[in-house]
Structure 1
Amino acid sequence: VQLGEILFGKLGHKGGKKGKSGQYSTDVTVLEDLAGQGVEIARKVLDWRQLQKLKSTYTDTLQDQINSKTGRVHTSYSLAGAQTGRLASTDPNLQNIPIRTEIGRQIRDAFVAEPGNVILSADYSQIELRLAAHIADVGPLREAFEAGEDIHARTAQELYGEVNRDTRGRAKTINFSILYGISRWGLAKRLESTPEDAQALIDAYFKRFPGINSYIQETLESVRESGHTTTLFGRKCWFPRIKSGNGAERQGSERAAINAPIQGTSADIIKRAMVRMMPALAEAGLPNVKMLLQVHDELVFELPEGDVAAASKVIEAVMAGAAEPMVKLSVPLGVEIGTGPSWGAAH
């Protein structure tokens, strides 16, 4: 209440909106808009909220959750905790530690291996884009992945006719935004452009990669008819509000439905890799390699330093081939592996 009054009442900044309670909203989107306009106090409040969340969720709470017998924290996983089929982590949730910020990475540095061991992180590289290239049959993207090209650079070349830091960065934003059914207004906000410019980019993207547009339209038609989407492995994801009379609910369901077959297939693939992993390591004579965590597209292991080379080959092979034999993908699944004394250092 006080923050809204200070920002929009006392300081007179534009963009303030009052809710039903008559109070100004100060949620993250409002503050990010102000911070983008150069309002320093909004940036400081966002930074404070981030630090407060990290402190309350991790640095304070994690210490209370250390098991007295093992000296470690032990998360719980739910198979049905997320709509698309991803595993959900609770008590503590180790899947939402921010990795894009330096302060978030410092939290990961606190997860360390036992003496003589190292942490190994194995991450599917751009798996959702790869699956989109397969599911939507997007020739240029498929070719780029098969050739091991920089996919965002390829998209920048296709859309802008040149590749530099700016066009590659914008292409990366567009690549991921399109898969989440983003609107012209949402993309304009991310690119800091006008809705008209954003729509022109969306149109250009669909013209260059028509398979993506066809995939989106066919997915929406199918889910409106059946009420669900299906992963490549046949798992259904239900959207009961896809025909809601409430526009926001309906559009939210549509965006989720566009991404669900892709993210859901990704979730299926990493679960298949996890089931096969320990038998494959045992068969390779690597019984001391422990699989510790799954964080969406990443598996985290602890292992003796001397086993890194042999284990890396097994882990990469299992993850790269996890879709087979049930699904034969037209693009390779790239796996990036890093090691270090801590989880943070392994990235």
Structure 2
Amino acid sequence: MPETTEDLNEFWRWLYEARERGPIALDTETTGLNVFNPSFRLRTVQFGDQRDAWVIQYERGGYFESYAREAVQRTQRVLIHNAAYDWLVLDRCAGIPLEDLAPWTTDTRTLAALCDPRQPSEGGIGTALKPLSARWVDPAAPDTQSGLTAVFRSLGLTKETGWAGIPLDHPTYLLYAGLDVILTARLFPALRRELARLGVRNELVAYEHELARICAVMQRRGLLVDQDYAGPLARRLAAEAERYRAVAARYGVIKVGSGDQVAAALVGMGETLTERTDAGALKTDKAVLLPLADLDRDWQRIGAREPNRLADAVLRAKRAAKWGETYAAGFMNKLDDAGRIHPVITPLAARTGRMSVTDGLHQLPSSDHIVRRAILAEPGHVKISTDFQAIEMRVLAALADVRRMKEGFTRGGDAFDIHMYTAKLIRGEGATKRDRKLFKGAGFGKVYGGGITTLARQTGASEAEISQAVTAYDRVFPEIKRAGKRWQRQAFQNGMVFVSATGRRLPLDRDRTYAVTNYACQSAARDVLGQAMIEMEGAGLLEYMRLPIHDEILASAPREDAADVAREFERCMTMSLYGVPIVAEAEIGGRSWGSLYGADY
């Protein structure tokens, strides 16, 4: 830890020698995790290889700040664990554009996810540095996190305030900072060897780094919040939650979050609950309550039964509370100086590679406009949403080579409705909207692995009807079932790992091998979106892009150019997958994201 200019000169000599030997690991310590918080500061910048680590106290300013900045810019190849975070830190606090640093970066977290994408709860190692180091570097690799937490407590600090409050020269803090770059430097060659052993292609590694950079650019830009709308919305939702809690209380449910109270009341009202938690309690989660309230996953009426008022009240009380606290109030609490929030976009969030967005923005019901209304396009801009059409079914048709499904997609044109097409194949030309809904459920059951009970609950049909629909689906599209069995065999022969169309390794759980169809389709759909995002950048659209949401790209574009920009998004999201046309449709809204969902602004 350099303390003088002479020490800094020694660091400089080490840097030039180390970069000739190979990549240099880079890391930062900061005052917290919210890079765009107005009080956020960069405290130290660390450089290291497999033998040495240098902790530069950036917070001291002067020579320390300038040496650290210059060293980052002169490092030719960089290793970072969770690169997007440090890119954004150095971009905001040190004036080093992430576009300059990203091309020279290898993210060891990305490498780890491509070796095994599972989290510890799923039987994997996860992507955290210390567990990975224990697996690939040394089982006894020191973990100073617990020691640092103890230091925070001794100083009267918490886990949240400790990072900003601990003295800059505290030895445990410096040891924690320095070890991370040494571990990253040692982890890199081990992961590279493992990727080579597993046969993971270098092209997939490069592709994931490109997507990480694109997502980091979107995170840096952030989303403009309508504060005049979000503040009152938080208060209105709090009142709404209280109103529905009062309804639940009339049925004996004092706490809507108490599963035992809700279950007892529903049983007392004559409802039959059969599903249980691992602990043996009756389940009363959203999946159970929605059909009792006669609601589908998008909170639209199913029309299968008389809604249970208690189930409806519990659902709405919990949703209003969540929307008020997580979204409306959450947006207001996370604003930067420019009135923006900066959701973290994680390109490799799920086992299948599906992306996620923090602040709950990828979990909003597709019918919601209330929360989305709080997110604005730039002044003079409008919101554009470009969404793939029936991407899950198109990917399924392509991967499983489903003849009749491929014929429909190829000949049906942009307005082709795969679910009505399926209903007519099975029921004839007299197929109804209800038939369409039934066979849509059967199709999604194939893609997502939903069982008969789950599909019946979601569609409002009886289990007998769903069972017959699935049987009919298999008769019309026999290739799907055959492909699923073939993919399971391939996984068995490959150590319970299915390799996706793009070479992604997807470990299967032994008690859920049927999920291979879901994994294959989700992974391919994600990579179709990823390729489209790279095409968008090449077409000059990155400046308009704001968020990837499932199979949708949200954008903000000047009102006068919106039609041209929308057509370009559609072009980038149009391609062919094994002969199946992948198409997208752009919708131009008003100033708010909610305008695309029915809001009037």
TM-score (norm 1): 0.84
1:317 maps to which of 545, 554, 571 = 571
| Identical-residue share of aligned pairs (%) | 28
Contact 2:488 2:514 in 1 (8 A): no
> Could you list the runs of 5+ residues in structure 1 that have no partner in the other structure?
243-249
Supply the distance in 2 between the matched residues of 1:319 and 1:17 (Cα, whole angstroms): 41
Q: 1:23 to 1:317 in 2, by over 3 A?
A: closer
The higher relative CO (CA closer than 8 Å, separation ≥ 6) is in: 1
Asked if 2 retains the 8 angstrom alpha-carbon contact of 1:5 and 1:24, the reply is no
Once the two structures are TM-superposed, the CA of residue 329 in structure 1 deviates from its matched residue by 2.8
Distance 1:128 1:78 in 2: 21
**Is 1:85–1:264's contact at 8 Å kept on the other side of the alignment?**
yes
1:30 Cα deviation from its structure 2 partner: 3.8
Q: CA RMSD in A?
A: 2.4
1:214-253 to structure 2, matched below 5 A, reads: 214-226=482-494, 227-239=496-508, 241-242=509-510, 250=511, 253=512
Q: Indicate whether 1:343 and 2:593 are aligned.
A: yes
Residues 1:281 and 2:537 aligned together: no
Among 431, 437, 441, the residue aligned to 1:173 = 441
Letter of the structure 1 residue corresponding to residue 332 of structure 2: Q
Q: Answer whether contact 2:544 2:555 (CA < 8 A) is retained.
A: yes
Q: How many angstroms does 1:97 deviate by?
A: 1.7
The DSSP-based 3-state class of the residue aligned with 1:43 is helix
Quick one: distance in 2 between partners of 1:176 and 1:277? 29
Alpha-carbon distance in 2 for matches of 1:153, 1:257: 26
Q: CA deviation at 1:124?
A: 0.8
Amino acid at match of 1:28: K
Counterparts of residues 200-215 of structure 1 (less than 5 Å): 200-215=468-483
Q: Is the 8 A contact 2:389 2:585 kept in 1?
A: yes
Change (3 A) 1:329 1:183: same
Question: Whole-Å Cα distance in 2 between the matches of residues 302 and 79 of structure 1?
Answer: 21
Q: How does 1:1-347 map to 2 (within 5 A)?
A: 1-9=260-268, 11=269, 13-15=271-273, 24-32=282-290, 34-36=292-294, 38=306, 39-68=308-337, 70-90=338-358, 92-100=359-367, 104-146=368-410, 147-148=412-413, 149-161=416-428, 162-226=430-494, 227-239=496-508, 241-242=509-510, 250=511, 253-281=512-540, 289-321=543-575, 328-340=577-589, 341-346=591-596
TM-score, scaled to structure 2? 0.50
Distance in 2 between the 1:82 and 1:234 partners?
16
- 1:139 shift after superposition: 1.7
Distance 1:263 1:194, change over 3 A: same
Structure exhibiting the larger radius of gyration computed from Cα positions? 2
8 A contact 1:8–1:16 mirrored in 2: no
Tell me if structure 2 keeps the 8 A contact 1:140–1:209. Answer: yes
Indicate if the aligned counterparts of 1:281 and 1:314 stay in contact, CA closer than 8 A: no
One-letter amino acid of the counterpart of residue 524, structure 2? T
**38-47 or 134-143: bigger deviation:** 38-47
Residues 352 and 506 in structure 2, CA contact (< 8 A), matched pair in contact too: yes
Asked if the contact 1:170–1:191 (Cα under 8 Å) also holds between the matched residues in 2, the reply is yes
State the SS of the aligned residue for 2:341: coil
Answer whether contact 1:31 1:43 (CA < 8 A) is retained. yes
| Alpha-carbon distance between aligned partners in 1 of 2:283 and 2:550, rounded to the nearest angstrom | 32
**Structure 2 vs 1, CA of residues 298 and 12 (structure 1 numbering), >3 Å: closer, same or farther?**
closer
Q: Partner of 1:246 in structure 2?
A: none
Q: Report the number of matched residues.
A: 321
Q: Contact (CA 8 Å) 1:108, 1:343: kept in 2 or not?
A: yes
2:395–2:521: 8 Å Cα contact kept in structure 1? yes
Where do 5+ consecutive residues of structure 2 fail to align? Answer: 1-259, 295-304
* Cα offsets for 1:248-301 (capped at 9, x unmatched): xx1xx334322111110111111111123123127xxxx8x4211101101111
